Structure 1
Amino acid sequence: MKNRNTHRATIVIVVAMFVVSAVTTAAQSGGDAIPTSRGDVVILPLDHATFIMGWDGKTIYVDPVGGTGRFADLPTPDLILVTDIHGDHMNAETLTAISTAQTTIVAPAAVAEQLPASLMGRTVSLANGQTGMFSEIGVEAIPAYNLTEDRLRFHDKGRGNGYVVTVGGTRIYIAGDTEDVPEMRALRNIDVAFVPMNLPYTMTEEQAASGVNAFNPGIVYPYHFQGSDLEKFKMLVEADGDTEVRVRDWYALR
C-alpha cells in the first residue's frame, strides 16, 4: 500500500508540473518529455491502456477508466480520447466524473451510443478515417480491429478507433485494441507510437514488432501488454529497425 500511495503521489506531482509547463522537471520525475515545435509533450502512463499527455497547457486523457479515485487529484482533461467499448478502455461513470462542460470527448460511434445523455453535448464521434481539430490538437481515427480468425469476435472492423494525435507538428499514434492491420502498417511519419500486445485480445509480440517495423516510428511504447514478453518485443523491433523502444511501468497502481 505504501508503494502504491507513493507512486500515486508522484503522478499527482508530475501531472501538476506539466500543466504549468515545467516539463523538464516532470520528465525527471517520471513523465517522458518529447519535443514538438511548440514545447514538449509530456507522456505519463497510468494503467494498462490509460495514460495522460500534457502539451501547451492542455491535458489529454486516453481511455480513462478505473473509477474516480484514480483521477481525483489530477488536472481536468481538455480532451479525452476513447478507443473502444470494452471496460479497460471505456467507463461511463469515470467519464462523467472527470469531464466538465469544457472537456471534449472523442470516441467511435459504438462508444458514444453507450454514454449517458449528460455527456452527449461534449462528445464528438469519429468513424475510422475521419479527422478533427480540438484546441489545436489534431486527431485522426485509425481502424483498430482483429485479423486472426480465432480473435475476430473481440474487435470488429469499424467499431474501434486508434488515433493519430498531432501536437506541435509531432505525430503520436495510439493503436487501441488491434492487431497489425494494414492501416497500421501503412502509417508514415509517426514520431511516437503506443502499441498493444496481449492474447487473446490483440496480438503477439511478433505481430506487434512486425507492425512497428512496417511503419517505423521514432519511439514506440509497448502498452496494454499484461502478460507479454517485452524483452522479446524489444529484441525483435531493434533487430529489424531503428525505432527506440521505451518500456515503462503501466501496472504500478495495481
Structure 2
Amino acid sequence: MPNPFDLDGLQIIYFGWSAFKIKTADAVLYFNPSNVGEVPEEDKADLILIGNSHDANCSEEDIQKIMKDGSKIYGPQKVEDTIGPDVLVVTGGDTYTEKGVEFNIVPAYNEGSSYNPRDFGFGFEVMIGGKKLYFAGDTDLIPGMQDRDDIDIAFLPIGGTDVMDYRDASDSIDMIKPKYVIPMHYKVGLDSPVESFKHRVSGRAEVVVMT
C-alpha cells in the first residue's frame, strides 16, 4: 500500500511514474491513473485528469477500475481517441469546475519534439480542498511556468527522458515558488535523481518524496 502525504485534510497517494490520487472530504481526483490496484468504492473517482495519451499516463484498465456513476474524465484529443467518447476534450487555457474542483489547462511539452509536441498534452492547475496544485505533466522547463501563482504543491517530473531532468526541475522552483514539491516521472534505484533534486531544491521548497 503506498504511503500517503496528508496536508490539512488533503490526502495524496502516489502509484508511481506520474499517477496520483488526491482525496478530500468532498472529492476524489486522479492524475494519470496507473497501477492503482484494488479500488474500494470510497476511493473511486469524481474527476480524472489525463495529461496525454502515452501508455504510462492513459491506462484504460486502470481508468475502468476507478470509474463510478458520475465520474468525469478530462484530457486532450488523443486521449479521447484512445479511451473513447466519455472523455471531455480540453484545450490550452480552458478553465473548468467539476464536483467543486476548479482546474485550468496549462502547457506541457518538449520544445522541438515529435513525442511531446505543443498541444499534444497538457498540465493542470487545480484548486481542491483549499489547496492549489500544479501538475506539470510531461514537460520540459518552459516559458509560462512563472505564471503559476500561489502554488501549495507542485508535481514535477525529474527523470530527464522526454521531461525535465532534476536540474531543470530544480530551476523551475524559482519560477513556480511552491510550498511543497513532489517529484515524479523518474526511475527508482541506484540511478534515481531524487537525492540530487532534494539537494538542489533545499531551502526553496519542501520536497516530499512519495513511495
Compute the TM-score of the two structures, normalised by the length of structure 1.
Answer: 0.76
Instruction: Give 1:179's match in structure 2, choosing from 124, 136, 140.
Output: 140
Query: Are the equivalent residues in 1 in contact too, given 2:109–2:118 (CA < 8 A)?
Result: yes
Paired residue for 1:104? 72
The CA deviation at 1:96 is: 3.1
What runs of 5+ residues in structure 2 fail to find an aligned partner?
none
Q: Which residue of 2 aligns with 1:45?
A: 14
Kindly provide the CA deviation profile for residues 158-202 of structure 1, in whole angstroms up to 9, marking residues without a partner as x. Answer: 111111110243210111101111122331111101000113211
- Structure 1 gaps of 5+ residues are 1-7, 12-29, 250-254
By percentage of residues, which structure has more strand? 2
Amino-acid identity (%): 25
Q: Is the 8 A contact 1:65 1:87 kept in 2?
A: no
Match of 2:194 in 1: 230
What is the correspondence of 1:74-153 to structure 2 with a 5 Å cutoff?
A: 75-117=43-85, 120=86, 123-147=87-111, 149=112, 152-153=113-114
Listed as ranges, the matches of 1:234-245 within 5 Å are 234-238=198-202, 242-245=204-207
Shift of 1:86: 0.6
What is the aligned length? 207
- Is the contact between residue 196 and residue 224 of structure 1 (CA under 8 Å) also seen in structure 2? yes
Q: Is the 8 A contact 1:164 1:174 kept in 2?
A: yes
Letter of the 1:237 partner, please give it.
Answer: V
The AA in structure 2 aligned to 1:235 is: H
1:234 deviates by: 1.2
Alpha-carbon distance between aligned partners in 1 of 2:192 and 2:116, rounded to the nearest angstrom: 19
Displacement of 1:49 in angstroms is 1.0
1:54 and 2:23 equivalent?
Answer: yes
* Structure number with larger C-alpha Rg: 1
5 Å-filtered alignment, 1:188-207, equals 188-207=149-168
> Alpha-carbon deviations, 1:53-86, whole Å to 9, x = none?
11123211111124xx713446211111111111
